[in-house]
Amino acid sequence: MENVLEGLVTFQKEIFTKKKALFGSLSKQQKPSVLLVTCSDSRIDPSLLTQTDPGDLFIIRNAGNLIPTYGSAMGGSTATIEYGVSVLQVKDIIVCGHTDCGAMKGLLHPEKLQELPAVKAWLQHAETTVRMVKDHCAHLKGEKLFAAAIRENVLVQLDHLKTHPAVATRLRKGDLRLHGWVYSIGTGDVWVYDEEKKDFVNPSKRRKKSGK
């Protein structure tokens, strides 16, 4: 805890002073352009990952970066989506999964969740992920199966997003875009879902190959 308090003091004395004008404008209103849904995992720092400033991202964090289908759990995540899309008018929504995800391990090994009833209940919002993995990835084992579950879950949660009225309306208008990401904690790579290729690709590696 001591390092957290020391960081707080550093923020107040140094960081806040350097960005005083930014925080001054943010004290009056917020205009984030992106709603980012990601896991509560402590190894993920959305602002560091995207190199964004305070006010740029509207963020939802929970175990497994899950999005309940509309009406199945009218809680904080649903309210945040509705507010971000309807009131803040974000232009993009990103669902970002990650490697070594404990929630996905729980999906693949439900027997380990017997002493975690709240986690087990929450992961029911990824039941479709379990079915997709069983039906389409039965040939995979070990780490390959784990990686497939992480990717499939991102796609499933994107589908869940489309059940939310605020999202569905904006998608029909064509002024809202959905994105699926998988972040590699160990390498820093981010794999982005390509709708045309129906697969996750690494944009940074693609740019390097093209010489850009």
At 193 the pLDDT is 97
Instruction: Give the single-character DSSP code of 89.
Output: -
At 211 the pLDDT is 52
Digit-by-digit pLDDT tens for the chain (212 residues) are 999 999 999 999 999 999 999 999 999 999 999 999 999 999 999 999 999 999 999 999 999 999 999 988 888 999 999 999 999 999 999 999 999 999 999 999 999 999 999 999 999 999 999 999 999 998 989 999 999 999 999 999 999 999 999 999 999 999 999 999 999 999 999 999 999 999 999 987 655 555 55
Give burial (CB, 10 Å; 0-12/13-18/19+) of 149.
buried
- Token digits of residue 187: 């390498």
Contact 98, 184 (CB under 8 A): yes
**DSSP bridge partners of 98:** 183
At 73 the pLDDT is 83
